[in-house]
Amino acid sequence: MITAKDIANYLQLALNGKNTTIKCYAQLSSPLPHSIVFAKKYSDSFAYQLNNVDNILSIVTPEYKNRLTCSHIISKNPRLDYIRVLSHFFTQEKPKDFIHTTANIEHGATIGKNVFIGAGCYISSQSIINDGCIIHPNVVLDNRVVLGKNCEIKSGAVLGQEGFGFERDENGEPVHFPHFGDVIIGNNVFIGSNTTVERATLGSTIIEDNVKIDDLVQIGHNSHIGEGSMITVGAIVCGGAVLKPQSYLAPNVSVKEKVTIGRRGLVGIGAVVLKDVPDDTIVAGVPAKEINRNK
């Protein structure tokens, strides 16, 4: 049994109201009795709605103070604290040290402790998977891929195969550049479904610690993705591009080869980045142009 007090204690925040029992989670638009919800912005209609649901717990911004009669927790970042509560109290972890019988793991691959590998995966002999990783069904780790600790790779992702690198010969025929490099991925990295991360031609394609990559993303050969960066759905990072730490690519962004996105740079939806972006800068458009500075 989970109580509102349990949740408040976990968040190290004060509980306002009675210590009700929490049985489920719900959306703010359709709250349920004995559920937990969150509100990022103040609204009179949301306050009225929350006050008319029995035995609900809400995590809300300071604007709601003295306006709620239901049980509530005041938070500076309600969405973040709600995520923490769901992850701690409601999420079921995958079994540890589990490798599905249909996974194809070549002799020589290194598998750490507490690793989950789902059905239909292919893990090459040169791959290294460190402790605590979760690899969902039908993932490919080809050639030499090194996964740090506690990474999660969603279904259909392909890591470590060769990229699209060609040079035309004297007759105009495309000749493929052979790839001899690898893919090095740090700790706590999340990679979405059907995302591809290409091995380097020479050297390494690098994804640093705490990077989060959405579904359907292309990371080209020899790219370097800095710590804590986030890349959302449909983005294309061409070969040799650099994203410095804490950068952010919105959906369907394209970054030209060997372009650098500065530290904490933000690229707006659908932008095409053809030249370097300075630190703490927001760009958008086709081609991308500066529209604001974060500092």
C-alpha 221/C-alpha 232 separation (Å) is: 19
Query: Under a CB-based contact definition with an 8 Å cutoff, are residues 201 and 180 in contact?
Result: yes
Phi, psi of 292 (to 5 degrees): -170, 160
Query: Under a CB-based contact definition with an 8 Å cutoff, are residues 163 and 201 in contact?
Result: yes
Question: Would you mind telling me the total number of residues written for the chain in this entry?
Answer: 295
Tell how far CA 114 is from the center of its chain. 21
Q: Catalytic one among 72, 136, 179, 221? A: 221
Q: Which of 221, 256, 211, 217 is nearest to 233 (CA)?
A: 217
Query: Under a CB-based contact definition with an 8 Å cutoff, are residues 261 and 279 in contact?
Result: no
C-alpha 241/C-alpha 259 separation (Å) is: 5
What are the contacts of 170-177 at 24+ separation with CB within 8 A? 177/201
Active site residue 221: yes
**Would you call 188 helix, strand, or coil by DSSP?**
coil
Question: What ranges make up the beta strands (E) of 40-188?
Answer: 57-60, 71-74, 98-99, 104-105, 110-111, 116-117, 122-123, 128-129, 134-135, 140-141, 145-147, 152-153, 158-159, 166-168, 174-176, 182-185
What are the contacts of 232-238 at 24+ separation with CB within 8 A? 233/192
- Rounded alpha-carbon distances, angstroms, from residue 228 to 95, 188, 231, 245: 27, 10, 10, 6
The residues carrying an active-site annotation are 221
